[in-house]
């Protein structure tokens, strides 16, 4: 097997050096703030199996760049709101890469540093799929 020029871990490290990372305790303190939108990038099966941050907006990882772009046919109105967007995945890797790409596009966002697993470990509220 050929060695990659850049590993996925290195891509994440580079992304994290360029983006805003929100600590879990700080994110939990933002719960209920009407000016903050938590965006869950995890697969629908992850949300179903593990639960989700109450009130979070589900945006599958593969659609993020398209859903935030007002010129895309896939644009979602939620991303037109004048709010603070905090993206997360399970551990913070996918969200770091996503937020880096979105920031490059000109869409300001942050990511939950330790992901949903850190949220759960810190005792953050979790809703279950019904």
pLDDT tens-digit series, residues 19-67: 999 999 999 999 999 999 999 999 999 999 999 999 999 999 999 999 9
Of 58, 78, 76, residue with least CA distance to 67: 76
Predicted confidence at residue 128, as pLDDT, reads 94
Q: What is the pLDDT of residue 1?
A: 82
CATH number where 115 lies:
3.40.250.10
Which structural domain, as residue segments, surrounds residue 32? 16-121
Q: Does the residue 2 lie in any domain?
A: no
pTM of the model: 0.95
The model's confidence at residue 2, banded by pLDDT at 50, 70 and 90, is confident
Domain count, the chain: 1
- In the block, which residue shows the tokens 């000016």? 35
User: Is residue 6 in a domain?
Assistant: no
Residue 127 in any domain: the answer is no
| Residue 80 in this model has a pLDDT that exceeds 80 | yes
Q: Above 90 in pLDDT, residue 97?
A: yes
């Amino acid at each position: 097997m050929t060695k990659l020029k850049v590993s996925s871990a290195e891509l994440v490290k580079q992304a994290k050096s360029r983006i805003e990372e929100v600590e879990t305790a700080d994110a939990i303190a933002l719960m209920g703030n009407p000016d903050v939108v938590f965006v869950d990038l995890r697969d629908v099966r992850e949300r179903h199996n593990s639960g989700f941050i109450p009130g979070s907006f589900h945006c599958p990882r593969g659609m993020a760049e398209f859903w935030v772009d007002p010129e895309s046919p896939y644009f979602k109105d939620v991303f037109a709101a004048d709010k603070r967007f905090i993206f997360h995945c399970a551990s913070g890797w996918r969200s770091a890469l996503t937020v880096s790409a979105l920031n490059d596009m000109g869409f300001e966002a942050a990511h939950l540093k330790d992901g949903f697993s850190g949220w759960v470990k810190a005792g953050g509220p979790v809703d279950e799929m019904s």
